[in-house]
């Protein structure tokens, strides 16, 4: 199998070389393709391109839309997603691939919400635990982190499902993957303090997560609105 590592970027020039280097290092057995979906105003795309990444330029439209664009453009048999702020452990790529290649999983998600994680602010942990509890209650999916940015998917999963959201896209990835009958697993991963500014609008994202988790359970259509 070959892999594609997909990462949205927004002004990550201070750390992008390290993150791409780690992805190439730990993904080496699977000939990694690096895809950067970039909306930066700094030198992020130039640095990424110089390191061999495929850069997709896109106006700032939200993390979910950027991630979706990169995943649909990927050529790898397995698509691995991550943020580009050095919070996610590229050294876990072999573990994700082991679950897909040897244990037959179609998708794997990284769980950051555990006692070993001391890098996430307490308010974020509380909110993320609440979102995961809603998913367990309403959808019966044994998830503990439904806002994680680190996943691995067989390419066909991404192309066989219709995706609708933006700010709640990580949760949509998990819920729709399971609801469509694919074999999904969650594993604990470490999580580091991010490098650079926080660009996520927590209030808007929080509302979007709740709306999608509840609305999808009730069968409500999004009516073309991106959440």
User: What percentage of the chain carries pLDDT values higher than 70?
Assistant: 92
Average pLDDT of the residues of the chain = 92
For residue 19, being part of any structural domain is answered with yes
Q: List alpha helices for the chain, DSSP H.
A: 16-26, 44-50, 63-73, 93-101, 122-139, 155-160, 169-179, 202-217
Residue 223 lies in a domain: no
Cα distance between residue 21 and residue 15, in whole Å: 10
**Digit-coded pLDDT (tens) for 1-32:** 999 999 999 999 999 999 999 999 999 999 99
Report yes or no on 227 lying in a domain: no
- The alpha carbon torsion through 147, 149, 151, 154 (nearest 10 deg) reads 100
Q: Is 223 helix (H, G, I), strand (E, B) or coil?
A: coil
Q: Quick count: other Cβ atoms within 10 Å of Cβ 207?
A: 14
Per-residue pLDDT tens for 160-203? 999 999 999 999 999 999 999 999 999 999 998 866 555 566 66
Does residue 151 belong to any structural domain of this protein?
yes
For 221, residues 6+ apart whose C-beta sits below 8 A from its C-beta are: none
226: in domain: no
Q: What is the pLDDT of residues 48-81, one digit of tens each?
A: 999 999 999 999 889 999 999 999 999 999 999 9
For the chain, the helix, strand and coil percentages under 3-state DSSP, each to the nearest 5:
40, 15, 45
Q: Is there a domain that residue 45 lies in? A: yes
- Residue 222 in domain: no
Residues 6+ away with beta carbon under 8 Å from 137: none
Could you tell me the residue range of the domain that residue 91 belongs to? 3-217
Q: How far apart are CA 201 and CA 167, in angstroms?
A: 9
Helix axes 93-101 and 16-26, enclosed angle (nearest 10):
40
How many domains does the chain fold into? 1
The pLDDT of residue 219:
83
Q: What is the CATH classification number for the domain harbouring 42? A: 3.90.550.10
Percentage of the chain lying above the pLDDT 90 cut: 82
| Maximum Cα–Cα distance across the chain | 47
Mean pLDDT score, 118-135? 90
Closest CA to 34 of 19, 12, 44: 19
- On whether residue 21 sits in a domain, the answer given is yes
Angle at 91 between CA 87 and CA 95, to 5 degrees: 115
pTM above 0.85, yes or no: yes
């Amino acid at each position: 199998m070959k892999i594609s590592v997909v990462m949205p970027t927004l002004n990550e020039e201070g750390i992008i070389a390290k993150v791409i280097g780690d992805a190439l290092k730990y993904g080496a057995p699977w000939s990694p393709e690096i895809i950067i979906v970039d909306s930066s105003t700094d030198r992020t795309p130039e640095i990424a391109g110089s390191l061999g990444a495929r850069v997709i330029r896109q106006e700032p439209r939200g993390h979910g839309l950027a991630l979706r664009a990169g995943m649909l453009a990927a050529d790898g048999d397995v698509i691995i997603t991550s943020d580009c702020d050095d919070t996610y452990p590229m050294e876990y790529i072999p573990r994700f691939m082991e679950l897909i290649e040897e244990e037959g999983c179609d998708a794997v998600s990284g769980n950051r919400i555990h006692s070993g994680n001391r890098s996430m602010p307490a308010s974020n942990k509380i909110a993320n635990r609440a979102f995961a509890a809603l998913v367990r209650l309403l959808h019966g999916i044994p998830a503990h982190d439904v806002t994680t940015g680190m996943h691995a998917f067989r390419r066909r999963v991404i192309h066989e499902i219709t995706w609708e959201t933006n700010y709640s896209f990580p949760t949509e990835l998990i819920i729709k993957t399971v609801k469509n009958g694919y074999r999904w697993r969650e594993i604990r991963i470490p999580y580091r303090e991010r490098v650079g500014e926080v660009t996520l609008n927590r209030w808007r994202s929080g509302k979007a997560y709740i709306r999608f988790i509840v609305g999808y359970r009730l069968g409500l259509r999004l009516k073309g609105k991106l959440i």
